[in-house]
């Protein structure tokens, strides 16, 4: 599978501004085997808590930037560091959220049942959407959502899910990448994320957001309840790139511009996928 990401350079773009781009990670389903850039000069920058490397791209003057990934089928599994708990404002659960999760765990027969119960409890708190204000904006920990439905994207839903699972002492990781819906002929508009749990060596994948998009609240493990193709580009939240002045940015799943204060800013992207020699969608 080949993924091509074209980054638009705006006429008003600061010529000194740089792009930070995830290089791709392995999963049980795919392995990244190549990463190429045209239209810019490339250096590497390391993230200190997970060991992930990202490409730092300085665009050539007046040239668009194209990032190309190639993935082969099959993989060794998710990176081990993905399951390591790291407390930051995107993963730390508030005390009342911890208490709520413990109540769910106490009623479960075992760890696998606890995971499934937590996943479905989280699904019961969200209505899929893209709110202007996220439920945890301005918070230093993940707050407890006590009643009603909260509007949230895949990022919001999985932020809450990771906090719940880790508050229960269960191994879980947050994965970011691209999902290409079957009906969009090899294109997508932005990234997508999902959660992976591991208990007694059993790895399970969960995609609450896609279930909710399909009107389903009975969440089952496994990817692609919504038909399509996906690849993983990065993992974990609260990433720090000290050489770039970036401290605990929430995620790096797709190319982002680095501002002068180390904030990552959304880039204008055109994302396309082709498989086994198929032409990239026009």
**Looking at residue 26, what is its pLDDT?**
97
**Looking at residue 225, what is its pLDDT?**
87
Look up residue 208 and give its two tokens.
Answer: 């609450």
- Tens of pLDDT along the chain (282 residues) come to 999 999 998 777 787 899 999 999 999 999 999 999 999 999 999 999 999 999 999 999 878 899 999 999 999 999 999 999 999 999 999 999 999 999 999 999 999 999 999 999 999 999 999 999 999 999 999 999 998 999 999 999 999 999 999 999 999 999 999 999 999 999 998 999 999 999 999 999 999 999 999 999 899 999 988 899 999 999 999 999 999 999 999 999 999 999 988 999 999 999 999 987 565 444
The CATH number of the domain covering residues in 82-232: 3.10.620.30
* pTM of this structure: 0.94
Span(s) in the chain for CATH 3.10.620.30: 82-232
Reported CATH class of domain 2-77+248-274: mainly beta
Span(s) in the chain for CATH 2.60.120: 2-77+248-274
| Backbone angle region of 236, left / alpha / beta, with phi > 0 → left and psi within -120 to 50 → alpha | left
pLDDT tens track for 256-280: 999 988 999 999 999 999 987 565 4
């Amino acid at each position: 599978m080949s993924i091509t990401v074209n980054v638009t350079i705006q006429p008003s773009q600061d010529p000194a501004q740089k792009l930070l781009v995830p290089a791709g990670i392995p999963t049980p389903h795919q392995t990244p085997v190549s990463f190429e850039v045209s239209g810019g000069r490339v250096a590497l920058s390391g993230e200190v808590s997970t060991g992930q490397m990202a490409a730092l791209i300085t665009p050539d003057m007046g040239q668009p930037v194209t990032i190309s990934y190639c993935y082969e089928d099959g993989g060794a599994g998710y990176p081990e560091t993905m399951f390591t708990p790291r407390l930051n404002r995107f993963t730390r659960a508030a005390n009342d959220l911890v208490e709520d999760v413990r109540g769910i765990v106490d009623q479960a027969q075992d760890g696998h049942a606890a995971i499934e119960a937590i996943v479905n409890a989280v699904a019961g708190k969200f209505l899929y959407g893209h709110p202007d204000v996220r439920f945890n904006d301005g918070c230093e920990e993940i707050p407890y959502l006590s009643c009603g439905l909260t509007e949230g994207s895949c990022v919001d839903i999985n932020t809450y899910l990771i906090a719940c699972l880790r508050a229960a002492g269960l191994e879980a990781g947050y994965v970011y990448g691209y999902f290409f819906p079957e009906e969009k002929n090899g294109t997508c508009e932005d990234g997508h994320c999902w959660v992976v749990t591991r208990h007694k060596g059993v790895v399970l994948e969960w995609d609450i957001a896609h279930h909710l998009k399909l009107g389903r609240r009975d969440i089952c493990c496994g990817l692609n309840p919504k038909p399509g193709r996906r690849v993983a580009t990065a993992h974990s939240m609260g990433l720090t790139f000290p050489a770039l002045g970036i401290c605990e940015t929430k995620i790096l799943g797709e190319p982002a511009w680095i501002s002068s204060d180390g904030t990552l800013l959304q880039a204008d992207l055109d994302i396309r996928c082709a498989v086994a020699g198929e032409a990239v969608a026009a």
